[in-house]
Structure 1
Amino acid sequence: MPTDSPSPAPAGSPVSPAPSGSTIAERLAVVRARIAAAAGAAGRDPGEVRLLVATKTQPAEAVLEALAAGVDLIGENRVQELVAKAPAVAGRVADGALEVHMIGHLQRNKINQVLATATGLETLDSPELARAISDRCVRDERTLDVLVQVNVSGEESKSGVTPEDAAGLATAVAALPGLRLRGFMTIGARVEDSGEQGVRAGFARLRAIRDGVLASGAPGTAAATELSMGMTNDLELAIAEGATIVRVGTAIFGPRPTPPR
């Protein structure tokens, strides 16, 4: 895909909650239309942008409803939910019809659980975690697609390597056996806190990191083209800055249920 800066696209304001009577398939159609419109406004092919459906807190029945509507990429934030929903989607994963990404922070003591159920990891953020996953992949004779998570906003509440250290980590990851470096991921700042220009600047920085790694020609980095960035409220901004994966949950499933006290 092109690595130069895309043309600006108008940012859509946060979408209103879907009517209570709308189905997951109808909400998916709305999100796909938003993606297509944002890509078109940026002069990009909508086919360059994949929709990852974030299934955090959603029951298996809702996930299966989304899959029936054509979803082929889902993401889980929590290892326990990833494992709990694995039996419901195992057949589609085995057939190659579905990718399952871990999109939450991963502790080293849960690597085996993730490797047993996920096809990709978007939150690789340290050399120690990379080496531990590499060792398990080599032992299991498999290869895992990984994205390096970068904290472009500098917020302490967000995980990820610093932008200054991102290229070095990516190059090191690319050289490890059992790992296939596919690109970079970030959780952007909130529009309410940083404004549209601030959010776009963070996404643009991730794109620049990706482009620099690709241009370096370092071994194992040629496939590192992915930019996983943008969610329900800022996907237009992310697509304008080159996102190849947008992670959307709320606009598809509605607000997450409040956990019991």
Structure 2
Amino acid sequence: MSSIQQNIEHITSQIHSAEQKCGRARDSVQLLAVSKTKPNQAILEAAHAGQRMFGENYVQEGVDKVQFFNHNHPDLTIEWHFIGPIQSNKTRHVAEHFAWVHTIDRAKTAQRLNDQRPEHMPALQVLLQVNTSGEASKSGLDTDQIFELAELISRLPNLKLRGLMSIPANVTDYNSQLAAFKQLAELKDQLSEKHPDLDTLSMGMSGDMEAAIEAGSTIVRIGTAIFGARDYANKN
């Protein structure tokens, strides 16, 4: 058994334990393997271990991986999520290659992704990124901007709004982590009054996964704990 497979099994066990602890249904939380800077071989090992959802932060690197697996491993049904910032000149690449985008925070980005989504592909599943911590250095919408952008996306035929995503402040105190995640969950509940199909909260990483799951996360984003330390010299 490879170390990647062992890591996936360990994290999956942690997720199931957290689900049980807070009374949630088993498998109500999905594991998104963050594969940025990781080689195709590592992703292939994870896929052979049963992992099918992968998250990429850098457009060209992610596109290269999507194309590699489509060409060399068409039997593997991999769902590719884009979870990094999107520059306007890169939206076409994202629209043409990914199934999900977690980081919508501007109307211009949403409109371009909609217009550039190929007709033969299903609607792009999207999340609004929210800056719950209020940090100027963090990407994401202020809470008062969410509802207007959600309304715009609801009118775009090639996008499907699924929920919210956040990267809260890096704190180690469990109660502080929980409070930040509950804030996002409450925003989703408010948004669901107008958009009842919302079903996704992308929140929680290795250090705050349990708090995220207690607060209602449906996707946790885990990278280093699966693949080991990242080598940013490989970033595109």
Same fold? TM cut 0.5 = yes
Alpha-carbon RMSD: 2.2
Within-5 A mapping of 1:172-211? 172-192=152-172, 195-211=173-189
1:126 aligns with 2:106: yes
Q: Which residue of 1 aligns with 2:227?
A: 253
How big is the shift at 1:89? Answer: 2.1
How big is the shift at 1:80? Answer: 1.6
Q: Secondary structure at the match of 1:74?
A: strand
> Is contact 2:95-2:114 (8 Å) kept?
no
Q: One-letter code of the match for 2:215? A: E
1:170 aligns with 2:150: yes
Match of 2:208 among 221, 224, 234: 234
- Structure 1 residues 134 and 247, CA gap change in structure 2 (3 angstroms): same
Q: Secondary structure at the match of 1:46?
A: coil
- Structure 1 residues 149 and 169, CA gap change in structure 2 (3 angstroms): same
Within-5 A mapping of 1:1-261? 23-90=3-70, 97-137=77-117, 142-192=122-172, 195-216=173-194, 221-257=195-231, 259=233
C-alpha separation in 1, matches of 2:191 and 2:9: 35
How big is the shift at 1:255? Answer: 1.5
Q: Secondary structure at the match of 2:95?
A: helix
**Runs (5+) with no aligned partner, structure 2:** none
Q: Which residue of 2 aligns with 1:15?
A: none
> Is contact 2:96-2:116 (8 Å) kept?
no
C-alpha separation in 1, matches of 2:63 and 2:121: 21
C-alpha separation in 2, matches of 1:49 and 1:148: 19
Q: Secondary structure at the match of 2:117?
A: helix
> Is contact 1:101-1:118 (8 Å) kept?
yes
How big is the shift at 1:168? Answer: 2.4
Moved more, 102-111 or 79-88: 79-88
Q: Secondary structure at the match of 2:36?
A: coil
> Is contact 1:101-1:119 (8 Å) kept?
yes
TM-score normalised by structure 2 residue count: 0.92
C-alpha separation in 2, matches of 1:235 and 1:248: 9
C-alpha separation in 2, matches of 1:85 and 1:190: 29
> Is contact 1:171-1:213 (8 Å) kept?
no
Moved more, 86-95 or 198-207: 86-95
Q: State the aligned residue count.
A: 234
